[in-house]
Amino acid sequence: MWTVSSYVIRQKLAGRKQYPLVLMLEPLFRCNLACAGCGKIQYPAHILKKDLTPEECFRAVDECGAPMVSIPGGEPLMHSQIGEIIEGLVARKKYIYLCTNALLLKEKLHLFKPSKYLTFSVHLDGQREEHDLAVCREGGYDIAVDAVKEALKRGFRVTTNTTLFDGANPKSVRAFFDEMMDLGVEGMMLSPGYSYDKAPDQKHFLGRARTRRMFRAILSNRKKNWQFNLSPLFLEFLMGKRTYPCTPWGMPTYNVFGWQKPCYLLQDGYAETFAELLATTEWQNYGTESGNPACANCMVHSGYEASAVNATFSSLGGFLATVKATLSTSYRDDEALRLLEEPPAPVHPLVQIATPNESLQETRA
């Protein structure tokens, strides 16, 4: 928190309006899962074979300057030099979130040393049944939980990251939070799914109104021991208590194509350098307010969490709201309790569905 706070304050004092908070570094697109809601593994084989070299990763990290580096993919543990990449980033004192489905984690733990800079961010999309359905792999939950236990036993930092799609059962998600806290993970990260046009299952992405309703049910009447690895104001944004403009430069993406315009989710071209990305992206064309249909339903953390962090440091009101949200964490809400009693929507089956042209727009409200 101190690293992020001092970094943001330095950016503010320097008068920078667009600054990166987390670099999304994708060293490869290959994966050992084929999740219905993921758009990354649909690339042709010659792209899936490509890896960023450690030197390319270090150059991007140095150029960007963000204090945190998130390593999604693809499955980063399938990169043959992932140990070297992590070692180089730890040496640079970057806070690293290595995002993994954990299928390979147990057998690859020997590649890493426990460090305050390294956190395994394990992809778990809910309790056993929900997670296995989301990742289209029976037994995936048990393998991941087993790996989490082993990583914790060996002294590594571990958090979870959870993507929630339409049909998620808020009661089950809350029970999942209890399970993760009992397991001993440090914190949990949440995000609504984004409607990737490459994802095979296009039916289960959430519109903004449904996103807010679902997160209100899940995150109100919070238990004291739940720890989230997210800005408290971003959680309030998900619950519909705040609105923010998208700040996609806050979490820029670098991958085998270069610096991706404008964000982790859309691909409107690439830049060769981070400076070129900032200078040549037409930022006004993105975010919900822009009217861009690709952004209409988006509330994902890679677009809006940096906005929430920026709001914390932009005014005394933002700072006090963050302090209040951090200290008074229960969010008592009787209507949210009622929402929990609504019958859950049927869960989608364990198949990949190809309906690429179906309209997803629900509301831009």
CB 350 within 8 A of CB 37: no
Q: Which of 294, 308, 321, 325 is in the footprint of ligand SF4 by CB under 6 A?
A: 294
- Site size with ligand SF4, rule: CB under 6 A: 15
Phi, psi values for residue 144, rounded to 5°: -65, -45
> Is position 300 an interface residue for ligand SF4 (rule: CB under 6 A)?
yes
> Is position 76 an interface residue for ligand SF4 (rule: CB under 6 A)?
no
Residue range at the interface with ligand SF4 (CB under 6 A); choices 151-159, 185-193, 207-215, 291-299:
291-299
Least separation in angstroms between CB 140 and ligand SF4: 27
Q: Which is nearer to ligand SF4, 342 or 358 (CB)?
A: 358
Q: How many other CB atoms are found less than 10 A from the CB of residue 59? A: 15
> Is position 286 an interface residue for ligand SF4 (rule: CB under 6 A)?
yes
> Is position 126 an interface residue for ligand SF4 (rule: CB under 6 A)?
no
Q: Pull the structure tokens for residue 101.
A: 């489905």
Q: How many other CB atoms are found less than 10 A from the CB of residue 338? A: 10
Q: Which is nearer to ligand SF4, 144 or 300 (CB)?
A: 300
What would the x/- binding string for ligand SF4 be over residues 230 to 269, using CB under 6 A? ----------------x-x-------------xx-xx---
Q: How many other CB atoms are found less than 10 A from the CB of residue 80? A: 8
Q: Which is nearer to ligand SF4, 65 or 293 (CB)?
A: 293
Q: Pull the structure tokens for residue 15.
A: 């008068």
Q: How many other CB atoms are found less than 10 A from the CB of residue 25? A: 27
DSSP H/E element including 147: helix 140-153
CB 301 within 8 A of CB 189: yes
Q: Which is nearer to ligand SF4, 26 or 130 (CB)?
A: 26
Give, rounded to a whole angstrom, the gap between the first and last alpha carbons of the chain: 32
CB 169 within 8 A of CB 130: yes
Residue range at the interface with ligand SF4 (CB under 6 A); choices 87-95, 195-203, 235-243, 290-298:
290-298
Q: Which is nearer to ligand SF4, 102 or 294 (CB)?
A: 294
What would the x/- binding string for ligand SF4 be over residues 160 to 179, using CB under 6 A? --------------------
Q: Hey, what long-range contacts does 322-331 have (CB within 8 A, 24 or more apart)?
A: 322/231, 322/232, 322/233, 325/232, 325/233, 325/235, 325/236, 326/232, 329/222, 329/224, 329/226, 329/232, 330/221, 330/222, 330/224, 331/219, 331/220, 331/221, 331/222, 331/239
Q: Which is nearer to ligand SF4, 220 or 253 (CB)?
A: 253
Q: Which is nearer to ligand SF4, 37 or 303 (CB)?
A: 303
Q: Which of 72, 74, 140, 287 is in the footprint of ligand SF4 by CB under 6 A?
A: 287
Residue nearest to ligand SF4 (CB): 303
Q: Which of 173, 295, 311, 336 is in the footprint of ligand SF4 by CB under 6 A?
A: 295
> Is position 20 an interface residue for ligand SF4 (rule: CB under 6 A)?
no
Distance CA(157)–CA(153), nearest Å, equals 10
CA distances to 78, 79, 86 from 115, rounded to whole Å, are 21, 20, 11
Interface with ligand SF4 (CB under 6 A)? 246, 248, 262-263, 265-266, 286-288, 294-295, 298, 300, 302-303
